[in-house]
Amino acid sequence: MNLTFWSWVPGIQASVNLFNKTHPGIHVTLDETTSGNAGTYAKMFTALQAGNAPDLGQVEYSVLPNFEHVGGLVNLAPYGAASVKQDFIPSAWSAVTLGSAIYAIPQDTGPTALFYRADIFKKYHLPVPTTWAQYASDAATLHADNPNIYITAFPPQDTQWFSALAWQNQARWFSISGQSWVVHIDDAASMQVANYWQQLINKKLVKVEPDFADGWYHDLQNGVVATWPTAVWGDNTIASNAPGTKGDWRVAPMPQWSTSGAPVESSWGGSTTVVFKDTKHPQQAAEFAMWLNTNLSSWKTLISAGGLYPAEVQAQKLPEVNSGLAFFGGQNIFTVFRQSAANTDPNWTWGPVMSQTFTQMADGFAKSVTGGPSLGAVLQSVQSQTLSLMKSQGFSVRAG
């Protein structure tokens, strides 16, 4: 019996091979796709409409509600998926469930923390910030002492980065009440984050530029930006694009909004394994999805070849993600990220039109930083646009 699996994870074939070797009654054929882009998802939606979708697929957390809305996913609860709930961090499991339904098995996650230039902080006698208020104070001190250095860059069109910051402040862009979606993109927590960065922009304490672009890589390499609040996968981004800074970077927990209570963290990135509705073998497909993402031998490959950070708790303890890194001065940065993953707010919910919401927000932020409306005003506009879009698509929806 054969199952087809669409995935973009590098090296995942080794995990598939191991499954096939240890499960002689099931054979999984991997079809490598392009990493999580619109083309891949368009191909999946087209296949669903045509009734010939693969048995399984790689889908990011933020896109799951889109597939669920069109009835494209198998509810894995009847096939024993609840048995692996305790294997995953709460935020990842929360992202794949809706009520009693389980629409995916978590794979990787992107816990966030603060990458910072230890040499710059030492030179300018800056404390490593534990709160966002202290971060803003560091920004002012640093730029006053050296106008050529900024605490960080603000990337106006990277709205997934912004969503992680809002998530960490316990924002609630989307939620479900009964049979209706509730939209509150301009809630108080999100407005606080927007206003915070607006002030840093207005005071010219952050450099406004796109991330993952040549200019930004140059600034990482040359010490123009002293920190990057980002996800665990940022280690490779920095090491690959700023090799001359080897030994200068360290990682600390993300600054907090509140000085009281337990730390709150968020995630940026990560994906899941889903079973599509066209499968003729849902039980076996569910078995593969659970095995792939809980088997520690599978995870050794997913980490070493795929570059993934596990949502699976025991896999986070593997040596492959628990060693000091020379690039970071020998620091075992993964201890910070493992704690961040455990502290990630599990109550964040992705909405069913995230692609459009992100596009509207990116367009608005791009105009904002060139003299347009404030970041907060953009959130209010996106709130209105998202409500209108969801209503036009037939969702039962109301403002929060």
Q: For the chain, 400 residues long, give each residue's pLDDT as a single digit of tens.
A: 999 999 999 999 999 999 999 999 999 999 998 766 668 999 999 999 999 999 999 999 999 999 999 999 999 999 999 999 999 999 999 999 998 999 999 999 999 999 999 999 999 999 999 999 999 999 999 999 999 999 999 999 999 999 999 999 999 999 999 989 999 999 999 999 999 999 999 999 999 999 999 999 999 999 999 999 999 999 999 999 999 999 999 999 999 999 888 999 999 999 999 999 999 999 999 999 999 999 999 999 999 999 999 999 999 999 999 999 999 999 999 999 999 999 999 999 999 999 999 999 999 999 999 999 999 999 999 999 999 999 999 999 999 9
Distance CA 389, CA 181 (A): 12
Q: Where in the chain is the domain with CATH 3.40.190.10?
A: 2-110+268-343, 112-265+352-399
Distance CA 184, CA 384 (A): 9
Q: DSSP code of 19?
A: H
Distance CA 129, CA 124 (A): 14
Classify residue 116 by burial, with Cβ atoms within 10 Å: 0-12, 13-18, 19+: buried
Regarding beta strands 27-32 and 249-252, do their DSSP bridges make them parallel or antiparallel, or are they unpaired? unpaired
Cβ atoms of 152 and 226 within 8 Å: the answer is yes
Cβ atoms of 187 and 262 within 8 Å: the answer is no
Distance CA 95, CA 78 (A): 18
Check residue 37 and give its pLDDT. 65
Taking CA atoms, 153 is separated from 37, 133, 159, 211, 363, in Å, by 24, 17, 14, 8, 18
Q: Say what angle helices 282-294 and 12-22 make with each other, to 10 degrees.
A: 120
Instruction: Give the position of tokens 């459009």.
Output: 356
Check residue 35 and give its pLDDT. 64
Instruction: Give the position of tokens 């036009």.
Output: 392
Check residue 246 and give its pLDDT. 98
Check residue 227 and give its pLDDT. 98
Give the residues across from 174 on adjacent strands. 183
Taking CA atoms, 218 is separated from 77, 213, 224, 288, 376, in Å, by 48, 9, 8, 43, 30
What residue type is assigned to position 68 of the chain?
Answer: E
Check residue 38 and give its pLDDT. 66
Q: Which residue from 338, 371, 281 is spatially nearest to 76, judged by alpha carbons?
A: 281
Task: Tell me the three state secondary structure of residue 199.
Answer: helix
241's tokens? 């694009």
Distance CA 90, CA 112 (A): 15
Q: State which fold the 2-110+268-343 domain adopts.
A: D-Maltodextrin-Binding Protein; domain 2 (3.40.190)
Distance CA 234, CA 239 (A): 8
Check residue 39 and give its pLDDT. 81
49's tokens? 């409409």
Q: What homologous superfamily is domain 112-265+352-399 in, according to CATH?
A: Periplasmic binding protein-like II (3.40.190.10)
Global pTM reads: 0.96
